[in-house]
Amino acid sequence: MSNDTNPVITINTATNFLELGLISPLLGRLTELNYEHPTPIQAQVIPSILDGQDLIAGANTGSGKTAAFALPLLQKIHKLQLQQQLPAYKKVSKNTNQVRSNDVTGLILVPTRELAKQVADSIKSYAVHFNGAIKTVAVFGGVSANTQMLALRGGADILVATPGRLLDLISSNALKLDNVQCLILDEADRMLSLGFTEELEKILALLPKTKQTLLFSATFPDQVTSLTKTLLNNPAEIQLQSADASTLVQRVFTVDKGQKTALLAHLIKQHQWQQSLIFVNAKNACNHLADKLAKRGIKAEVFHGDKGQGARTRVLKAFKDGEVQVLIATDIAARGLDIEKLPVVINFDLPRSPSDYMHRIGRSGRAGEIGLALSIIDHDDYHHFNVIEKKNKLRLDREQVAGFETTEFINNVFGSAEKPKAKPAGTGKKKRKKEPQINADIWLGNV
């Protein structure tokens, strides 16, 4: 392997987990979970991680990223434990001969509290046949730090953390990062993007120089790609478009301003989706839209950063359990959340960032399930949706729903828009130049 070029990854065509080199406590668990075959990202990255390579992995969300890093991490920690005859959190320090109390071996950084819990829960589930020998702890803000400090007593083999709370716990001496052997950044673009840059820099400075670093993300914008180069040592780069992408159908409906809520309510009632996740751009917009839907007889719950952690956890659980049918959320729900069989994601407001569009829609159509991503756009959104399409290399037909045809602008199926010509005084209704496609009633049967 050359040092100045990225290693070439041979396309791995392994069709079962045994061929990937995983050991029996993991294989047994995967059988119990009915994971019959590795997903493409798992087939590609598991051998590289087991080999100790640094990695940049880009794959669509819902592609099985968590298991892709969690399984080899668990295996490596198990191997370390066998070599040292003790769980990592009871290791004896070479220098002092004292039992180390607050070390961490594998550190996984994630951008949101919910993702921290979800990732830790998945890891604990994958690890059941290690019979409690591998300790996984999740730490995140919004809840008492005391419970997390208690959980960290004796250290942890794997710590899943949001950056802010991690730094708080380090400053309270609840844990140390000196002996981290593997660092994983999940949703790396967000971790490296503004809000988190400063915290991340502080965390990176506390980590040992020699370690394995893995970056997982659905998107890698240019500005973070350069940062990843400084963070990683001769990384393998794996870019996969999920083989499941075709199971997620994307559609965009144009509607007049002021008709968005009516169209949304119409769609929810007409299609009786078992569940729908609706994205808006502001916390107060969640409540506002919930009130408007309530007036139209639709009960919706809201999920945003102003809600207490207890309420956030309860609402998300109720949604995941199918007790809540309509959830209106800000982008805190856009990343990584795994809601089984979520039939539809709706962009009521378009996300500001084109990459967030991909994160949002990735909540549906996960792991090969059929999914639908709808964007409802009015004239003000039109230009921005073109940008989102361009950045994500998409081209969607503009569609209209019968009874909600636009009068504000003229559109065509190729995505170009013309402002309506000024209405001559006294001519009554505007005349559309070109009849848009009206096929919103042709739905995928099972969504």
CA atoms of 77 and 157, how far apart (whole Å): 7
Does residue 39 interact with ligand AMP by CB under 6 A? Answer: yes
Smallest separation (angstroms) from ligand AMP to the CB of 66? 3
The H or E element spanning position 108 is strand 104-109
Nearer to ligand AMP, 35 or 273 (CB): 35
Q: Which residues contact 70 (CB under 8 A, 6 or more apart)?
A: 119, 122, 123, 126
Does residue 73 interact with ligand AMP by CB under 6 A? Answer: no
Q: Which residues contact 56 (CB under 8 A, 6 or more apart)?
A: 188, 215, 220, 225, 228, 232, 235, 236, 237, 238
Residue in 375, 305, 324, 364 with CA at minimum distance from that of residue 340:
364
Nearer to ligand AMP, 67 or 316 (CB): 67
Does residue 364 interact with ligand AMP by CB under 6 A? Answer: no
CA atoms of 207 and 216, how far apart (whole Å): 19
Tokens of 275: 């569940």
CA atoms of 268 and 271, how far apart (whole Å): 6
Does residue 365 interact with ligand AMP by CB under 6 A? Answer: no
Does residue 44 interact with ligand AMP by CB under 6 A? Answer: no
Does residue 273 interact with ligand AMP by CB under 6 A? Answer: no
CA atoms of 381 and 411, how far apart (whole Å): 13
Q: Which stretch binds ligand AMP (CB under 6 A): 31-39, 300-308, 325-333, 377-385?
A: 31-39
Q: 66, 212, 261, 375: which one contacts ligand AMP (CB under 6 A)?
A: 66
Q: 47, 64, 155, 343: which one contacts ligand AMP (CB under 6 A)?
A: 64
CA atoms of 233 and 211, how far apart (whole Å): 9
Burial of 414 (C-beta count, 10 Å sphere; 0-12/13-18/19+) = exposed
Does residue 219 interact with ligand AMP by CB under 6 A? Answer: no
Beta-carbon count within 10 A of 18 CB: 12
Q: 50, 57, 67, 344: which one contacts ligand AMP (CB under 6 A)?
A: 67
Q: Which stretch binds ligand AMP (CB under 6 A): 56-64, 109-117, 149-157, 191-199?
A: 56-64
Does residue 54 interact with ligand AMP by CB under 6 A? Answer: no
Smallest separation (angstroms) from ligand AMP to the CB of 42? 6
Q: 367, 370, 394, 396: which one contacts ligand AMP (CB under 6 A)?
A: 367
Does residue 40 interact with ligand AMP by CB under 6 A? Answer: no
Does residue 38 interact with ligand AMP by CB under 6 A? Answer: yes
Nearer to ligand AMP, 61 or 355 (CB): 61
Tokens of 150: 């208690």
Q: Which stretch binds ligand AMP (CB under 6 A): 33-41, 283-291, 307-315, 316-324?
A: 33-41
Does residue 302 interact with ligand AMP by CB under 6 A? Answer: no
Q: 187, 338, 349, 381: which one contacts ligand AMP (CB under 6 A)?
A: 338
Extended beta strands in 221-303, E state: 236-240, 248-254, 276-279, 301-303
Nearer to ligand AMP, 151 or 367 (CB): 367
CA atoms of 193 and 109, how far apart (whole Å): 13
Task: Give the total of residues touching ligand AMP (CB under 6 A).
Answer: 14
Does residue 360 interact with ligand AMP by CB under 6 A? Answer: no
Smallest separation (angstroms) from ligand AMP to the CB of 271? 24
The conformation of residue 207, written as its DSSP 8-state character, comes to S
* Residue 166 backbone zone (phi > 0: left; psi -120 to 50: alpha; other: beta): alpha
Q: Which stretch binds ligand AMP (CB under 6 A): 34-42, 109-117, 187-195, 435-443?
A: 34-42
Smallest separation (angstroms) from ligand AMP to the CB of 65? 4
How do beta strands 301-303 and 344-347 pair? Answer: unpaired
Q: 35, 253, 303, 357: which one contacts ligand AMP (CB under 6 A)?
A: 35
Tokens of 70: 């969690």
Angstrom CA distances, 193 to 117, 206, 232, 324, stand at: 22, 20, 17, 32
Smallest separation (angstroms) from ligand AMP to the CB of 249? 18
Smallest separation (angstroms) from ligand AMP to the CB of 447? 18
Beta-carbon count within 10 A of 391 CB: 15
Does residue 220 interact with ligand AMP by CB under 6 A? Answer: no
Q: Which stretch binds ligand AMP (CB under 6 A): 65-73, 140-148, 279-287, 409-417?
A: 65-73
Per the CB < 8 A criterion, the answer to whether 351 and 360 are in contact is: yes
Site residues for ligand AMP per CB under 6 A: 35, 38-39, 42, 61-67, 338, 366-367
